[in-house]
Structure 1
């Protein structure tokens, strides 16, 4: 069951995904959800990726081509007011009871009469039936929404930790960079090794934060990948921000992205979305990832 709840939020300051040195030696921040602005400094980021349920690894590649092609032909009509952090933003909350998490995403900028054009490309579903992000089917997208016109993607994925990076079973010992590498190593539609998948991505920053007793790892990264062999532009990449939490031996990750050229416009809003990601107490509708992990119906 999915619950959507609209709300109007004022965003005078947004959480940054660049860790400020000196918080403590471990690189982990501890704070309440309502006090993000005292722990982060502002920053902007953006990214892009698309999803339709793949029947082969090439489908995820084709979806990237589609989004990039559309973004080239469609100009984003967005208010040119500089930083959007000072704008009033109407947010809607999504609650996925199947996988027990929630997050908020922007739907409108009332003062600019700007509406986002979100389409739910993947409705929330159980891990066993979700679309895999790599041939080994470890990491899977359990929900996704896309704004093709404005080149925005918000997706939630679930997968087991990669023991190459997260060797300990004690998550309190995990470094944020290792968590990011673990997730990114499984995030590829190509039949390549984990190290080759990681070479597609460049992690800019990573840090951990404890919120209401739960650890969340935040990271920011770029994916440099040309959509076609004829377009080898050095500045053609996607900008992502993401948050990951662990439950019952699985990593739950929310990522938000757009093309790098759109980051200064949309980045603060995507950071707000990622900062809102929370695991929820399971209800009767919750289906744990380990239940029938290879069931596709």
Structure 2
């Protein structure tokens, strides 16, 4: 489901309602935009979450070239982020022209970083490390994976009585033909929330050299991420968790 919204310069966006199933739900917190930006709302009823993503900057006549590379799907059939298949990408959209990626992944907490079952006691940095430890496709140890990422900031905010953890980090990438620089980093912002013993994480990233221009819009996307009341279309992650078809 996609709804188009237009936010003006310095406009404050109050929590708005989006249509999910047969109900309208309040989905987003207050945030401020620095320039005109048109955004769409994505609602995934299979996994019961929503977020905003930028589509156009009318003032600059700039449009994002989004391709939905992974349409929303249930956790049991989603692509794994690492060999142990714990954390999996349940949806992803990519702008290959401007090198921007927005994805949502789901996975169980790693007890190495989050040993307590009480999520109110979780430290934001530990949540970030928990997610990043599973975000590598390399067949290496967890400790080796952690060296690929550098967390710049991590904090938590309570929304409707539930904690949401926000973090910002850099990931070193290998040079490519389109980006041949040896010291190439992707700048990431992410948000994680917990439901039914699983972590739901939205991650938005672009090249570090584009962060000044792209970063503010990706931060708005991350700030808008919300878990929604499940509808009849909701498929919980614990249902057939190791099924790949």
Q: Normalization by structure 2: what TM-score? A: 0.89
- The answer as to 2:46 corresponding to 1:98 is yes
Q: Is the 8 A contact 1:245 1:253 kept in 2?
A: yes
| 1:156-192 deviation line (CA, Å, top 9, x unaligned) | 0000001000010000000000000000001111111
- The residue aligned with 2:235 is 287
- The residue aligned with 1:168 is 116
Distance (Å, rounded) in 1 between the aligned partners of 2:149 and 2:12: 25
Q: What is the root-mean-square deviation of aligned Cα atoms in Å? A: 1.7
Specify which of 5, 23, 34 is matched with residue 7 of structure 1: 5
SS at match of 1:286: coil
Q: Which runs of 5+ in 2 are unaligned?
A: 14-27
Distance (Å, rounded) in 1 between the aligned partners of 2:113 and 2:147: 15
Q: Is the 8 A contact 2:175 2:182 kept in 1?
A: no
Change (3 A) 1:98 1:217: same
Change (3 A) 1:232 1:91: closer
SS at match of 1:6: strand
Change (3 A) 1:277 1:150: same
SS at match of 1:86: coil
- The answer as to 2:212 corresponding to 1:214 is no
Identify, as 1 or 2, the structure richer in strand: 2
SS at match of 2:10: coil
Q: Normalization by structure 1: what TM-score? A: 0.74
- The residue aligned with 1:233 is 182
Cα displacement (A) at 1:11: 5.0
Cα displacement (A) at 1:86: 2.6
Paired positions, count: 228
Change (3 A) 1:194 1:5: same
Cα displacement (A) at 1:14: 9.1
- The answer as to 2:146 corresponding to 1:198 is yes
Cα displacement (A) at 1:94: 0.3
Change (3 A) 1:193 1:296: same
Q: Is the 8 A contact 1:14 1:268 kept in 2?
A: no
Cα displacement (A) at 1:232: 7.2
Distance (Å, rounded) in 1 between the aligned partners of 2:78 and 2:146: 22
Q: Which runs of 5+ in 1 are unaligned?
A: 16-31, 38-84
Cα displacement (A) at 1:273: 0.4
SS at match of 2:53: strand
Q: Is the 8 A contact 1:103 1:277 kept in 2?
A: yes
- The residue aligned with 1:33 is 29
- The residue aligned with 1:261 is 209
Q: Is the 8 A contact 2:81 2:136 kept in 1?
A: yes
Deviates most, 85-94 or 279-288: 85-94
Q: Which has the higher contact order (CA 8 A, sep 6+)?
A: 1
Map 1:56-67 → 2, pairs under 5 A? none
Distance (Å, rounded) in 1 between the aligned partners of 2:92 and 2:11: 26
SS at match of 2:126: helix
Q: Is the 8 A contact 1:94 1:104 kept in 2?
A: yes
- The residue aligned with 2:95 is 147
Cα displacement (A) at 1:262: 0.4
